[in-house]
Amino acid sequence: MVHSYGISYSPQCKKQRRKAMQKTYAAVHAHTDQGDYAMVVTLTESENALSAFDAISGIEHANIYTTKKRAQMVVDMWNECFKRNGISIWNN
């Protein structure tokens, strides 16, 4: 396949590029002065995870999952625990 740039990619190269763009998901817990919260962060395999996590102020934990559904389940559980314990950012 030839792109408008005149670069030709072999089928094997295209397959490797697709694979490099596969996503992983992180359930992230962060602590701020206002409370704790959790969220899902989407990462590609070619992305620098440390840089992505450095952008999150107060990060405490980051667990990596292969599916967004599983990461979201963990985030929902953490946020529910934060609410029950009165430390959720949304309680204040």
10 Å Cβ neighbour count for 27? 22
Report yes or no on 89 lying in a domain.
Answer: no
pLDDT of residue 3: 47
Question: Considering the domain boundaries, does residue 71 fall inside one?
Answer: yes
Q: Specify if 58 maps to a domain.
A: yes
38 in any annotated domain = yes
pLDDT value at 7 more than 70: no
Q: Is residue 92 domain-resident?
A: no
pTM: 0.73
Number of domains, the chain: 1
Output phi, psi for 20, to 5 deg: -65, -25
Asked if 29 contacts 63 with a C-beta cutoff of 8 angstroms, the reply is: no
In a domain? residue 12? no
Domain containing residue 54:
22-84
Let me know if residue 6 belongs to a domain. Answer: no
Binned at pLDDT 50, 70 and 90, residue 5 comes out as low
Please tell me the predicted confidence (pLDDT) of residue 86. 94
Structural domain contains residue 3: no
Q: Is the pLDDT of residue 2 over 50?
A: no
